[in-house]
Amino acid sequence: MIEQINELIDKVILMQDASMKDYPELMEEYQRHPVPANSDLTKVPTLLPNYYQAISPMLHERFKRFGTWTWGPLGNWLSLEDMENICRDWDKVKPENDYVSWLKAIAENWENDAIRLFRPERISVFAANRDSYERIYLMWFDSMEEPELWIEDSNGVGRFKDFSAFLQWLPVEDISTYEPHWILGYSK
């Protein structure tokens, strides 16, 4: 499984590197930042301050390879430190973190957004793009080793059973092509 995840990450990196050549105005910002030496790769911050989920094997591979990925697929892929900053500011009236203000506005105005539907200890923000309102949540459910990834944007929601399923879907990157057949209770 770990080898497959790393191969999928490599494919997505190559795909994104190639597609970014079409956006020369963004190339200066486009980068995968190194993982800070003091990063704790054992836990993932949730939206509940000081509450963490144990890092899953697939996510461990992602977070040991790079921190923030600016202009990654579907937005900026956040580092564990970025996630920590979001949860640290979550309960502040005037958050210092731009993502927090943006995510709170979504929670207040989009009634079916995961942030509004689930308790904060069930959600981590994996990626976000304030320009397009795309965001990817890690959804933590009991008895599941890997979290689900939920992509939410103005076109709808895509749910992926784990990081591997998400990485396999990324070359298509079209919410309308995503197949939810694995979701419990789903029927066409």
What's the pLDDT tens digit per position in 118-164? Answer: 999 999 999 998 777 789 999 999 999 999 999 987 777 888 999 99
Range of the domain at 67: 2-177
Q: Is 144 helix (H, G, I), strand (E, B) or coil?
A: coil
What's the pLDDT tens digit per position in 101-125? Answer: 888 888 888 888 899 899 999 999 9
Is 143 within the bounds of a domain?
A: yes
Is 185 within the bounds of a domain?
A: no
- Mean local confidence (pLDDT), 157-182: 74
What are the Cα distances from residue 13, in Å, to 21, 82, 123, 141, 157? 13, 20, 25, 28, 23
What are the Cα distances from residue 102, in Å, to 47, 59, 68, 90, 109? 14, 25, 18, 11, 11
Contacts 24+ apart (CB under 8 A), 60-63: 61/2, 61/5, 61/6, 61/9, 62/5, 62/9, 62/163, 63/35, 63/39
Is 183 within the bounds of a domain?
A: no
Is 39 within the bounds of a domain?
A: yes
CB 65 within 8 A of CB 77: no
The number of distinct structural domains making up the chain is 1
